[in-house]
């Protein structure tokens, strides 16, 4: 256990809109719930940025000596194509798109998601929980809300009456009067636009692939009830930290808090934390927009998954990160150079206490990873002994997750023909003959090598 355990951690709480000191509800232990994927399609790299953020949080907590009980759900039923309780179930849509059953696509995409996490060095949760495995818990939760008078029934489901809670919408600071004033007939039988489904009835005359009997009729759970029921099962009615993407603030997490407050009198979690979007061309990357990038896409272009992890470290989790191929290339070059330096430092010696403590202070201040990454480069340029540099960077890697200790250079000589092409390309770029430079890069690529550019010139390396 590191000797810097239980140093002061400060985290931004979306509920209170401020950075505040973190103290676990149970000394030495942290209950952490992360909203997992809806497994109707592959995860894109924007989704994965959120899970890197949550991994950095967990690693920081563990660096400080806490035992983290990390729970993540798999949503395999109940998430409709609109977050406002309209449209088809995304699992049913995915089934029609692929020709597989909803159960088959859930298994396929859950496996693919877990493989992506492993490739990015994201620690798996202590507990995976699937919505379809916890239908009784969700029905029991809804029954309690019904008995407490917080629900009403419509033609298509059982709904939560958000107007019964004065605190509804506080997490997102929602303008409830404005929302209700702008509501249209699309809200159907709902009494208010902010009311949400706890249990949806299967449409008359149809048979869904995923449906269950309930006290109110055959159907399936609403999206929001899943996380409240499963987090309570594994972490209790009030636990330390609940995480997700920024898109969860206004609807999903707002509704989780409402139904838990109505049932248990708590806001579910002491801290609510949210990772911000990965953007492409200044727009949120999303599946609905089409053309999203998978981790596999980056690998097909010659990049390693940890190149993308390095890129995510360059921006704070509460700021948007712009993705471009140039940005990814710069991250890949930087990571390789840091790894090469660490390799050349030889066997690890003693950790630099000064650099270690500075690193801990940076990550403990609301996960200051961009500054912590800059400190790694400061360490590289410092006059600290090489063996100490390696030991200290390995210590940093408890949080960074870049596999410093196990990285080895690829033992492959660059053929003379490839070296010549890279040299010719540098000359073409210097002459501003970019068409020729692109042609020469393509020739290098065809030979199985990737060109990396920097201010010091270009080099080739084998594709991984």
Instruction: Note whether 40 and 160 are same-domain residues.
Output: yes
Instruction: Note whether 140 and 230 are same-domain residues.
Output: yes
Q: Is 224 helix (H, G, I), strand (E, B) or coil?
A: helix
What CATH number does residue 376 fall under?
1.10.730.10
Among residues 371, 400, 429, the one where a domain terminates is: 400
Is residue 171 within 8 A of residue 257, CB to CB? The reply is yes
Q: What is residue 415's predicted lDDT score, i.e. its pLDDT?
A: 84
Alpha helices in 204-290 (DSSP H): 223-235, 252-264
Instruction: Note whether 38 and 126 are same-domain residues.
Output: yes
Q: Does 110 map to a domain?
A: yes
193: closest CA among 79, 81, 82, 38? 82
Q: What angle do CA 142, 143, 145 make, to 5 degrees?
A: 65
Instruction: Note whether 259 and 123 are same-domain residues.
Output: yes
Q: How many CB atoms lie within 10 A of CB 28?
A: 10
Residue ranges, the chain, pLDDT below 70: 1-7, 83-84, 176-187, 282-291, 411-412, 454-456, 464
Which residues have C-beta within 8 Å of that of residue 392, sequence separation ≥ 6?
351, 352, 355, 356, 379, 384
Which range of residues forms the domain containing residue 421? 416-462
Q: What is residue 412's predicted lDDT score, i.e. its pLDDT?
A: 60
Instruction: Note whether 396 and 424 are same-domain residues.
Output: no
What is the Cα–Cα distance from 288 to 150, expressed in whole angstroms? 33
Q: Does 89 map to a domain?
A: yes
Domain count, the chain: 3
Taken as a whole, the chain contains a residue count of 464
What CATH number does residue 173 fall under?
3.40.50.620
Count Cα neighbours of 27 within 13 Å in the Cβ-side half-sphere.
0
Q: Does 132 map to a domain?
A: yes
Among residues 358, 373, 400, the one where a domain terminates is: 400
Buried b (16+ CB within 10 A) or exposed e, 140-174: ebbbebbeeebbeeeebbbbbbbeebeebbbbbeb
Instruction: Note whether 38 and 97 are same-domain residues.
Output: yes
Tokens of 429: 């770029």
Is residue 305 within 8 A of residue 119, CB to CB? The reply is yes
Q: Does 411 map to a domain?
A: no
Q: Residue 268 — φ and ψ, nearest 5°?
A: 80, -50
Is residue 128 within 8 A of residue 233, CB to CB? The reply is no
Buried b (16+ CB within 10 A) or exposed e, 228-255: bbbbbbbbeebbbbbbbbbbbbebbbbb
Among residues 220, 244, 275, the one where a domain terminates is: 275
Buried b (16+ CB within 10 A) or exposed e, 63-73: bbebebbbbbb
Q: Does 288 map to a domain?
A: no
**How does DSSP assign 159-207, residue by residue?**
EE-GGG-TTTTTTTT--HHHHHHT--GGGTT-SSTT-EEEEEEPPTT--
What is the Cα–Cα distance from 238 to 115, expressed in whole angstroms? 31
Q: Does 290 map to a domain?
A: no
pTM recorded for the entire structure: 0.87
What is the Cα–Cα distance from 376 to 120, expressed in whole angstroms? 20
Instruction: Note whether 31 and 151 are same-domain residues.
Output: yes
Instruction: Note whether 420 and 392 are same-domain residues.
Output: no
Q: What angle do CA 14, 16, 20 make, to 5 degrees?
A: 90
> What are the CA-CA distances from residue 83 to residues 142, 251, 307 (Å)?
19, 7, 33
Q: What is residue 191's predicted lDDT score, i.e. its pLDDT?
A: 92
Instruction: Note whether 396 and 420 are same-domain residues.
Output: no
Q: Does 178 map to a domain?
A: yes
Is residue 45 within 8 A of residue 285, CB to CB? The reply is yes
Instruction: Note whether 31 and 169 are same-domain residues.
Output: yes
Instruction: Note whether 390 and 421 are same-domain residues.
Output: no
Is residue 108 within 8 A of residue 70, CB to CB? The reply is no
Four-point Cα dihedral 132, 137, 143, 145, nearest 10: -100
Q: Does 76 map to a domain?
A: yes
Instruction: Note whether 306 and 249 are same-domain residues.
Output: no
What is the Cα–Cα distance from 334 to 157, expressed in whole angstroms? 53
Q: What is residue 3's predicted lDDT score, i.e. its pLDDT?
A: 46
List residues bridging with 275 in a β-sheet: 245
Q: Is 218 helix (H, G, I), strand (E, B) or coil?
A: coil
């Amino acid at each position: 256990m590191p000797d810097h355990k239980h140093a002061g951690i400060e985290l931004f709480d979306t509920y209170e809109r401020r950075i505040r000191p973190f103290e676990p509800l149970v000394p030495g232990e942290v209950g952490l719930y992360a909203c997992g994927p809806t497994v109707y399609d592959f995860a894109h790299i924007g989704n994965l940025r959120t899970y890197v953020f949550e991994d950095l949080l967990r690693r920081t907590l563990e660096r400080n000596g806490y035992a983290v009980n990390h729970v993540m759900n798999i949503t395999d039923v109940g998430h409709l194509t609109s977050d406002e309780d309209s449209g088809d179930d995304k699992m049913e849509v995915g089934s029609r798109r692929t020709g597989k059953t909803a159960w088959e696509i859930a298994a396929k995409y859950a496996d693919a998601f877990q493989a992506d996490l492993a490739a990015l060095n994201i620690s798996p949760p202590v507990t995976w929980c699937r919505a379809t495995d916890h239908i009784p818990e969700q029905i029991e939760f809804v029954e309690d809300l019904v008995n407490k008078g917080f629900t009403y029934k419509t033609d298509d489901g059982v709904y939560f009456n958000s107007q019964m809670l004065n605190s509804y919408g506080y997490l997102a600071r929602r303008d409830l009067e404005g929302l209700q004033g702008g509501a249209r007939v699309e809200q159907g039988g709902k009494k208010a636009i902010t009311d949400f489904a706890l249990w949806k009835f299967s449409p008359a005359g149809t048979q869904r692939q995923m449906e269950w009997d309930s006290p109110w009729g055959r159907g399936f759970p609403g999206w929001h009830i899943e996380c409240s029921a499963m987090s309570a099962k594994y972490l209790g009615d009030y636990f330390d930290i609940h995480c997700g993407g920024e898109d969860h603030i206004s609807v999903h997490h707002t509704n989780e808090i409402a139904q838990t407050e109505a049932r248990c009198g708590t806001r579910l979690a002491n801290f609510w934390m949210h990772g911000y979007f990965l953007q492409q061309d200044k727009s949120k990357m999303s599946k609905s927009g089409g053309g999203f990038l998978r981790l596999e896409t980056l690998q097909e272009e010659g990049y390693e998954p940890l190149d993308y992890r390095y890129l995510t470290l360059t921006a704070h989790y509460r700021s948007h990160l712009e993705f471009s191929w140039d940005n990814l290339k710069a991250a890949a070059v930087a990571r390789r150079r840091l790894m090469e330096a660490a390799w050349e430092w030889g066997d690890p010696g003693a950790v630099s206490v000064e650099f270690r403590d500075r690193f801990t202070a940076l990550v403990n201040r609301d996960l200051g990873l961009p500054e912590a990454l800059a400190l790694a480069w400061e360490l590289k340029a410092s006059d600290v002994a090489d063996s100490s540099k390696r030991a200290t960077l390995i210590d940093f890697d408890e949080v960074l997750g870049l596999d410093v200790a196990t990285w080895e250079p690829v033992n492959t000589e660059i053929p003379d023909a490839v070296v010549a092409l890279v040299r010719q390309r540098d000359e073409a770029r210097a002459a501003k003959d970019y068409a020729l430079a692109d042609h020469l890069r393509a020739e290098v690529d065809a030979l199985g090598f990737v060109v990396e550019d920097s201010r010091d010139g270009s080099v080739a390396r084998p594709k991984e």
